[in-house]
């Protein structure tokens, strides 16, 4: 049996980050279970996705905001984790957090701009929902695996990272499938422009992340 040896700083940072994630997940489960479940199932069923988008209300917007914070927090923490051997400071985690926020803000601005450009606000709303939906669900599912990575009594770090990476690829494939399906069939968008969007805003960041995993 190999025990995980962590320095004080590396032990405290995961503890606080995962505690915040746990509190947000617990809050969603306690007060917004119905809407949270509906959001998660939207990643796997178009019926739930249509229902979630159709019945917009204050509670769903609140759930979306909490899931967005959870998404940024856990994805940033995952990226920091796979590069922990390179730089393990709190400053580095904050830097990753800022870059992730900038990435999603840029994606939001570009999608809203394209919606205005083609005079279809509805497509911007749908695109924003689906482009972040799978990242939100991935952030939720990655939480227990990150917990195992840092605090399980056996050394399961490699297995945890492999499973999280597999989940990331799975949700990425689902995201691309839904973007193409809805973009082409529901809105009649050109497959060429969808391909450009996927390459620039979806595929390229994933390549950078996979490079960090493989060449850690």
**Considering the chain, what percentage of its residues have pLDDT values greater than 70?**
74
Give me the chain's average pLDDT, please: 76
Tell me the C-alpha distance between 35 and 161, whole Å: 29
**Close Cβ partners of 133 (under 8 Å, ≥ 6 residues apart):** 39, 42, 43, 49, 175, 178
Judge whether residue 32 has pLDDT over 70: yes
74 touches 146 (CB < 8 A): yes
4 touches 155 (CB < 8 A): yes
Judge whether residue 159 has pLDDT over 70: no
- Residue 210: count other Cβ atoms within 10 Å of its Cβ: 14
Q: What is the pTM of this model?
A: 0.77
Q: What domain range is 33 assigned to? A: 8-214
36 touches 28 (CB < 8 A): yes
Q: Which of 5, 162, 164, 2 is nearest to 77 (CA)?
A: 164
The pLDDT of residue 67 is: 92
pLDDT in tens, 65-74: 899 999 999 9
Q: Is residue 3 part of a domain?
A: no
Q: Is residue 89 part of a domain?
A: yes
Q: Is residue 2 part of a domain?
A: no
pLDDT in tens, 88-146: 667 778 888 888 888 888 888 888 887 777 666 677 777 788 888 888 988 898 888 88
The pLDDT of residue 49 is: 78
What are the backbone angles phi and psi of residue 84, rounded to the nearest 5°? -65, -25
Judge whether residue 5 has pLDDT over 60: no
Split into its structural domains, the chain has a count of 1
Q: Is residue 1 part of a domain?
A: no
């Amino acid at each position: 049996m190999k025990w995980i040896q962590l320095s004080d700083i590396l032990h405290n940072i995961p503890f606080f980050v995962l505690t915040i994630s746990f509190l947000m997940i617990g809050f969603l489960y306690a007060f917004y279970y119905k809407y949270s479940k509906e959001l998660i199932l939207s990643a796997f069923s178009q019926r739930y996705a249509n229902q979630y988008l159709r019945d917009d209300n204050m509670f769903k917007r609140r759930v979306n905001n909490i899931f967005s914070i959870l998404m940024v927090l856990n994805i940033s923490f995952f990226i920091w984790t796979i590069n922990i051997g390179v730089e393990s400071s709190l400053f580095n985690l904050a830097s990753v957090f800022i870059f992730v926020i900038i990435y999603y803000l840029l994606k939001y601005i570009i999608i809203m701009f394209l919606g205005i450009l083609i005079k279809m606000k509805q497509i911007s709303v749908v695109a924003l929902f689906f482009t972040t939906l799978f990242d939100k669900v991935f952030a939720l599912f990655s939480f227990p695996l990150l917990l195992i990575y840092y605090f399980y009594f056996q050394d399961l770090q490699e297995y945890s990272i492999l499973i999280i990476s597999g989940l990331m690829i799975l949700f990425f494939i689902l995201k691309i499938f839904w973007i193409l399906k809805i973009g082409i069939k529901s809105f009649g968008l050109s497959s060429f422009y969808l391909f450009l969007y996927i390459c620039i805003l979806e595929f390229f960041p994933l390549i950078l992340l996979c490079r960090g995993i493989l060449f850690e």
